[in-house]
Structure 1
Amino acid sequence: MTTSAAAESFTVQRAESAPAPSLPPFGHFINGAFVAPGSGAVSEVENPATEEFLMRVPAGSVEDVDAAVAAAVAAKAEWAQTTPAERSAVLLRIADLIEGNREELEALEAANTGKPEAVAEDDISSAIDTFRFSAGATRAFTALGAGDYAKGHTSVVYREPVGVVGVITPWNYPLLMAAWKIAPILGAGNTLVLKPSEQTPLTTLKLAELIAGEVPAGVLNIVTGTGRVVGQRLSEHPDVDLVAITGSVGSGEKVAATAAATVKRVHLELGGKAPVVVFGDADLEAAARGVRSAGFWNAGQECGAACRVLVHESVAADFTELLVREVAAITVGSPGTGAEMGSMISAAHHRRVLAALDGIRAEGLTVAVGGHALEGPGYFIEPTVVTDVPPGAGIVRNEIFGPVVSVETFSTDEEAVARANETVYGLAASVWTADAARSLSIPRRLDFGTVWVNSHLVIATEAPWGGFKGSGYGRDLSLYALEDFSRTKHVMYSHGR
């Protein structure tokens, strides 16, 4: 099925004028203040929807990381001794500060990422909720009760902070992914050094500016720079007790390999290739709308995106027609236009997604709608649906991380499960069916950390988020995140004198 007419209808809506974003101070945030970098090296940050320059940030060095880690080490004992109630109060104040400055943060996030207002608003709302949930969870954290598990001895299990945590966050949800890490890490009593993506550091730095007076000096530190320098040093630093990364599989592999040299713990939330399994009895219109939303949210730059549809052969033609119609109606534009989909994050990522589309065409696959770059400034690509995809095609294996959804068919439940599980990723999946028994049995057989039934990409702060297999290990959100950023200690008291 080809729909070149629909593809030709995509144009970029551009804002005539947008308010200048409120930029953070220049420098790393170390020991409670913005400080000049150790060298004059900088990187430039741009608005990917307009290609306009925003500001320069330091390209951090090993010495900058060492200074930040030293500050975190100096602060960790006092912060670890605070009560859960005290730490909870700090997290609640952070949430209030984000909410009180949400319009400023939304505008800055949209300018730095090119994402639509609706996505930026959701990001900031979710960040607020993450801090508020972690504030409550910090006070309700439980462990095995004290008891006499061995005769003549009383056991007490303590839940302690890990110590200093190194954090590496990605470019697709800069402030939200920082919140997912900062909130439980601080709630569990740790200090941290965070490296935001060098492409999207601005809202994380702005957050530091806003909360500097609420967090004790050294508890939260931010060093900007590349993964090759800053991320590498965090991973290998002997005084960093745990490294947590949200990023690509390749980045996670490097962090884990480097961390192994000092036997430090790692927390990996990596890539995904989420299958959407649509059975013959599903509500096809609802499934098509769900893929429109969850496949193209944040322009598909989302590790849980609904990017790989497996639809039963009996309804494949009807579903594909509905999906192409939905996707052809997506509006594309810069922040401030109300468009549904924004730009790619950078020129380099724009080229990677276009190269993947060239590979799809070279394989002879059918591009039913979209598939091309959009003209003018900004790194925009048409929302794309690829149909009639055979088993084993590159598009079903490789994470494109852009506005591209593929459609393939299956014949039986067993084939659907086997094909969905054949990916190296194990982050998220969804099942669409009206059959109650199937809705219970199929998710249990899918090898993914999150499985939705008749929806996709719905996140609850109270529920864990994380994957299996190549998608890593460790859990964000929920009480499980606080567990990941803490350690247990068993103290046994003899009843003898």
Structure 2
Amino acid sequence: MTTETALFTVRRADASLTPSFPPFGQFIGGTFVPSTSTSTVEIVNPATEEVLTQVPAGTVEDVDAAVAAAVAAKDAWAAKTPRDRSAVLLKIADTIEANRELFETLEAANTGKPSAVAEDDISSAIDTFRFSAGAARAYSTLGADDYAENHTSVIHREPVGVVGVITPWNYPLLMAAWKIAPVLGAGNTLVLKPSEQTPLTTLKLAELIAGEVPSGVLNIVTGPGRVVGNRLSEHHDVDLVAITGSVGSGQKVAAAAAGSVKRVHLELGGKAPVVVFADADLEAAAKGVRSAGFWNGGQECGAACRVLVHESVADKFTELLVREISEITVGTPGAGDAEIGSMISKPHYERVLAALDDIRKDGLTIAVGGRAIEGPGYFIEPTVVTNVPAGAAITSNEIFGPVVSVETFSTDEEAITRANETIYGLAASAWTKDSARSLTVPRKLDFGTVWVNSHLVIATEMPWGGFKGSGYGRDLSSYALDDFSRTKHVMYNRG
């Protein structure tokens, strides 16, 4: 059943954004160089559908050149002290800070993000570099001592070497920062492939920090994943490959990496359950879903997109949630108080609309939203789907758009079982005033991050990563530097 109403229009900024574009080329060996291919990729502003610029569609030869530059630079960079590497990371943070408005404008133009989201992304990127600068100087490891008679053991923490990085389109600069900062902090060099849809802020960062980072330590190759990403994953001189992306992309990376038995770091998709118990603060939970379910237009792997609410309070909660979502403001970058912007691209926009068509075919209730919004740009109404039965496709399929579903449960055990019945294991939240429940439920939820009475609050000092189909490896925190390091045991016979 459908009760859709056309509540939403797009607020549009008075003037279009005028971003400062990076140079054209591949960033290899500390400078922008021509690609070996003349093919290009158009970069589109998804809020207006205008073509912003073009970047090279990179080749295998481009990747090989970038890897060779990273290999040439790795010994000298690894030999630097943690203090020296930390100083470089702090300079990168200062550079982003000094050019904050430039990065925010460029990110918003390339992604269609509202100003508030772009501002948060840039602030978080700055904080990531500053945290990693400190964490790089504060490794902890087992103390040197005699663990076997007459033998003294020492643990060395070493960089892994050359790291291949593949970043997604939903948080272009921030996800680059989540990888670049700990990778460099741990003493590695890297080759990064940004999403072919959103490479501009990553390339701009390379342009602005070229004088601060030694030649070859950071290299960027633009182009399609099937070419650039695959070559990075299979390359025998790449020691570890890290990706933030979909489950399918992660599977391809892991399969390609298997040929050279390299380590992989996978931060993949999610379908985060929000478990609202009968004693929860329902207004707070509804506001929490408004924020965490629709942040970045729901294009967020930890989005609060699947609500399980106790049957005794389901009607009241649903009423509050629909009211909250009905008040969301949709707009283009620069349009004042817009909460959500456009979908990232026409193909993704069409995928989300196809998912909404499937929801209608399944006979589910769309309580608010559910349509494309007229006018230029790839905008979709914030949507709430209610009365969702257990096992419905929407409870397990990652839509990655402004769509939240609501289903009910009867007992705590049922809620936990149903929440865990997904291939994903990235994030979840539990909403309750019961102190005992707040301690026991998170331990039973099979997710890498579990919030209690909040959702999608992220601290740079705390790890981010999932279980099951959401991958393995940890971003943020000192655990990220561990992921991009290796341990070596040296034992001295003093008998």
TM range (shorter): over 0.9
8 Å CA contact 2:2–2:360 kept in 1: the answer is no
SS of structure 1 residue aligned to 2:102 = helix
Deviation by residue 1:65-122 (Cα, 9 ceiling, x = unmatched): 0000000000000000000000000000000000000000000000000010000000
- 1:114-168 CA-partner distances (Å, limit 9, x unpaired): 0100000000000000000000000011111100000000000000000000000
**Does residue 386 of structure 1 match 2:385?**
yes
Q: Residue 17 of structure 2 contacts residue 109 of structure 2 at CA under 8 Å; is this kept in 1?
A: no
1:82-121 correspondence runs (5 A): 82-121=80-119
**1:459 maps to what in 2?**
458
**For 1:282-301, what aligned pairs fall within 5 Å after superposition?**
282-301=280-299
User: Contact between 2:192 and 2:220, CA under 8 Å: does it hold in 1?
Assistant: yes
Q: Is the 8 A contact 2:26 2:220 kept in 1?
A: yes
Amino acid at match of 1:64: D
Aligned to 2:8: 10
Amino acid at match of 2:223: G
Q: Report the counterpart of residue 226 of structure 2 in structure 1.
A: 228
Deviation at 1:3, TM superposition (A): 4.9
Residue of structure 2 in register with 1:29 after alignment: 27
Residue correspondences, number? 494
Aligned to 1:273: 271
- Give the Cα separation in 2 of the matches to 1:142 and 1:19: 46
What do you get for the CA RMSD once the two structures are aligned? 0.7
In the alignment, is residue 129 of structure 1 matched against residue 127 of structure 2?
Answer: yes
Letter in 1 for 2:247: V
Q: Within the alignment, does 1:319 sit opposite 2:317 as a pair?
A: yes
Partner of 1:52: 50
Q: How does 1:26-425 map to 2 (within 5 A)?
A: 26-338=24-336, 339-425=338-424
Partner AA of 1:206 in structure 2: K
TM-superposed CA distance for 1:2, in Å, is 5.9
1:15 deviates by 1.1
Contact kept, 8 Å, 1:2 with 1:369, in 2: the verdict is: no
**Alpha-carbon distance, 1:19 to partner:** 3.6
TM-score, normalising length: structure 2: 0.99
Structure 2's unaligned 5+ residue stretches are none
Whole-Å separation in 1 of the counterparts to 2:55 and 2:374: 29
Q: Bigger CA drift: 58-67 or 14-23?
A: 14-23
2: CA distance, partners of 1:353 / 1:179: 28
Distance in 1, matches of 2:229 and 2:95, equals: 28
Alignment-mate amino acid for residue 111 of structure 1: A
CA distance in 2, matches of 1:358, 1:141: 51
Write out aligned runs for 1:420-435 (5 A).
420-435=419-434
Q: Which runs of 4+ in 1 moved over 6 A?
A: none
Aligned counterparts of 1:225 and 1:141: Cα–Cα separation in 2: 36
Structure 2: distance between partners of 1:213 and 1:439: 50
Secondary structure of the residue aligned to 2:53 is strand
Paired with 2:224 and 2:489, the residues of 1 have a C-alpha distance of 39
Percent identity of paired positions between Structure 1 and Structure 2: 80
AA matched with 2:385: V
Task: Note the C-alpha offset of 1:18.
Answer: 2.8
In structure 2, how many angstroms separate the alpha carbons of the residues matched to 1:286 and 1:28?
Answer: 47
Contact 2:192 2:219 in 1 (8 A): yes
Q: For residues 200-221 of structure 1, what are the alpha-carbon distances to aligned partners after superposition, in whole Å with 9 as ceiling and x for unaligned?
A: 0000000001100000000000
Residue 450 of structure 1 is matched in structure 2 by 449
- Distance of 2:185 and 2:98 partners within structure 1: 21
Q: Report if the CA contact (8 A) 1:45-1:53 is conserved.
A: yes
TM-score scaled by structure 1? 0.99
Q: Partners of 1:438 and 1:120 in 2: how far apart?
A: 36
Paired amino acid for 1:451: V
**What is the distance in 2 between the residues matched to 1:262 and 1:490?**
23
* Alpha carbons 1:88, 1:187 under 8 Å: kept: yes
The one-character-per-residue Cα deviations of 1:454-495 (angstroms, maximum 9, x if unpaired) are: 000000000000000000000000000000000000000000
Whole-angstrom distance in 1 between the partners of 2:222 and 2:370:
34
SS of aligned partner of 1:473: coil
